[in-house]
Structure 1
């Protein structure tokens, strides 16, 4: 790693008046450093170097700016640098201001940096504070929901940013404000096929919002009608009976033979977790049963191959077909769990995790064995063809 004198020399190459080729070599070198944990550790005590580098995000050279943004993407992937970047370097106001500019060519990089910075709750609170002091959450949602807002950037990583921000009750309260009609604007992105990142970000946002159990009844009502948007990605082409179809929301009835399910297992799991959260309240359980959710989940469970997603699905099924809790325990989010029961549940979760990992390892080994046999068979066929040619 660089000595103090070498770091000082490197800093001298980052001035705006430095020759372009020298500046380019310096930023290229820093980009290489930032790709490794040792390099990130080095930058923790070098806020002056980071400030000079961040100033170059407004350099006339596009190549220099691109290198600098890539450095900050790498650095923000390391949580230990977050406080240095938001407090000492103060990067947030400039990033958020540039994000508002519909002509700014590096807005995708900004979205990634903001998404990285907001992953952990402590820095997420800082991101939210600075956001509200400047751009504001309303404008952020507007940018996200406006198709083609920036012709030079896709802005898909605003989805994970929104999801991260909904760790905070302040963000959830804003999105769930009945007078603002915000959460409704996000729903159609659950089927946004152009980007798994945007799609997953929105579903993560909806899942986090469902921790606010007081809003479950409203979310499931006609005012929002969240249920079809959560179920449709899980529904497949299987033929249901007329009785099962008629009980479903209209959008879920008589689906075509080419209907495909959500391809990403992490997103499928988040959708199930969102449905499980909605069943924490009596109003939620009643609605999901009245809307005949079970047949969709039943067919999904038969189709699902991922062990972790399957486990989440089984938890949902248990609630849908199980008995109602005793009086006074209808809201599962408000039930006080004794410490000994918590320990038993924790142990059960550990056992379940171990079983899932064992099952996944078994499946992996079976797939490898099948692949090996396939390669051997193909090799034998080639040898036979070679013999025939001779």
Structure 2
């Protein structure tokens, strides 16, 4: 009996033969289309397993056929896009197949599919989101996105970003707001009838691990970031909301821009605190010490439901406390009150630990002047080893 690997190879060669034959010679369109659908669906079934994924990505000729098939129409194109989504999800491990997939994905064409809101723009956003999860793929995706600017006639007016890096990701933010904000007046365009693109949140969350993306979104006095802030409390789609929370957490890593992030113009601090606040009752004096948006919250007020979202929000606040100025600003907002109530409510152990550490920063003694920026303090090698060992446990 043939082994599973031999059967997979035979299946792959059969499917490839059918697709190539149909590409080369088309006699009966109806029969050809049906055979092509069966062939691509066979590849789709293979791509759903780790063995099939490895098999497909090791054959550049199959990837080339898929790249052409996705440019078609109907079920063949849809199945080809689904295969690419599966293959791109496998590159998150950073394995040897990543280069093969990236080589034949034609990222510029995928970006165009997304930017033009074509039929498979949701599949394109999934592919880009998957590919950008690891460092190597993120760099490739970011280059492709930043080399494509503007949404043409569908670009929302207002909030123009100054010329610079920010303009290169402006169209991504434009598209995210256009596709996922049903009450936006810019949705008068026919493009508003197309499905939302919630994975753009995850895409931005992945991209902002790269310093170039951080700088791009903070260019132009943070106007792009300002447009993303409402999504911190966006209840219509959790994946979109969590992606934006992750992105803003990553932006807080850019400590040189903390003065901008904590400015009155962006008003980021209350936006980070609001999802962490519950229907807690405070004295009138305590309420008056809170930012206006957090005063006298209604009894039905709920906290961020996802533990990972709460952790990211707490980590963002912790990052903003890296400098003496940041710690003072966070303290002055009566943040401790919100954290105290959150800590007593929190059931997720990891989120609780992050909350405890942040509280200690706020109520503890200030570090010595030579440690003003905690993000730039060198960590001794023995402490680094201990932290790495703790993280692995």
TM range (shorter): 0.7 to 0.9
Aligned to 1:357: none
Pairing partner for 2:116 from 76, 101, 109: 101
Structure 2: tracts of 5 or more residues without a match: 150-167, 182-186
Pairing partner for 2:17 from 12, 17, 31: 12
Counterpart Cα distance in 2 of 1:193 and 1:165: 23
Deviation at 1:82, TM superposition (A): 2.7
Deviation at 1:228, TM superposition (A): 1.0
- Superimposed CA distance per residue, residues 156-198 of structure 1 (whole angstroms, 9 cap, x where no aligned partner): 1011111111111111111111446111111000011111111
Aligned to 2:265: 223
Q: What SS is found at the alignment partner of 1:25?
A: helix
Matched, 1:168 2:210: yes
Counterpart Cα distance in 2 of 1:133 and 1:346: 37
Change (3 A) 1:184 1:310: same
- Superimposed CA distance per residue, residues 18-40 of structure 1 (whole angstroms, 9 cap, x where no aligned partner): 71111111111111100101001
Counterpart Cα distance in 2 of 1:329 and 1:5: 63
| Count of paired positions | 348
Is the 2:272–2:313 Cα contact (8 Å) retained in structure 1?
A: yes
Counterpart Cα distance in 2 of 1:158 and 1:22: 34
Deviation at 1:9, TM superposition (A): 3.1
Counterpart Cα distance in 1 of 2:59 and 2:192: 34
Is the 1:105–1:153 Cα contact (8 Å) retained in structure 2?
A: no
Q: What SS is found at the alignment partner of 1:255?
A: coil
TM-score (norm 1): 0.85
TM-score (norm 2): 0.84
Structure 1: tracts of 5 or more residues without a match: 355-390
Pairing partner for 1:91 from 87, 106, 116: 106
Deviation at 1:120, TM superposition (A): 0.5
Counterpart Cα distance in 1 of 2:385 and 2:55: 41
Pairing partner for 1:77 from 89, 95, 103: 89
Matched, 1:68 2:80: yes
Deviation at 1:153, TM superposition (A): 2.1
Counterpart Cα distance in 2 of 1:150 and 1:40: 35
Q: How does 1:1-390 map to 2 (within 5 A)?
A: 1=5, 2=7, 6-14=11-19, 15-16=22-23, 17=26, 19-60=32-73, 62-79=74-91, 80=95, 81-87=97-103, 89-102=104-117, 104-135=118-149, 136-146=168-178, 147=181, 149-179=191-221, 181-347=223-389, 349-350=390-391
Deviation at 1:6, TM superposition (A): 5.0
Q: What SS is found at the alignment partner of 1:258?
A: coil
Q: Which moved more, 1:48-57 or 1:220-229?
A: 48-57
Q: What SS is found at the alignment partner of 1:266?
A: helix
Is the 2:252–2:319 Cα contact (8 Å) retained in structure 1?
A: yes
- Superimposed CA distance per residue, residues 242-283 of structure 1 (whole angstroms, 9 cap, x where no aligned partner): 121111110001100110111111111111111111111111
Is the 1:85–1:91 Cα contact (8 Å) retained in structure 2?
A: no
Is the 2:222–2:266 Cα contact (8 Å) retained in structure 1?
A: no
Q: Bigger radius of gyration, 1 or 2?
A: 1
Change (3 A) 1:49 1:234: same
Change (3 A) 1:312 1:299: same
Change (3 A) 1:177 1:134: closer
Q: Which moved more, 1:145-154 or 1:245-254?
A: 145-154
Counterpart Cα distance in 2 of 1:283 and 1:159: 30
Counterpart Cα distance in 2 of 1:318 and 1:188: 29
Deviation at 1:5, TM superposition (A): 6.1
Counterpart Cα distance in 2 of 1:251 and 1:339: 43
Is the 2:12–2:43 Cα contact (8 Å) retained in structure 1?
A: no
Deviation at 1:133, TM superposition (A): 2.2
- Superimposed CA distance per residue, residues 31-51 of structure 1 (whole angstroms, 9 cap, x where no aligned partner): 110010100110122111112
Is the 1:166–1:209 Cα contact (8 Å) retained in structure 2?
A: yes
Counterpart Cα distance in 2 of 1:284 and 1:215: 11
Counterpart Cα distance in 1 of 2:146 and 2:388: 38
Is the 1:115–1:164 Cα contact (8 Å) retained in structure 2?
A: yes
Counterpart Cα distance in 2 of 1:158 and 1:4: 36
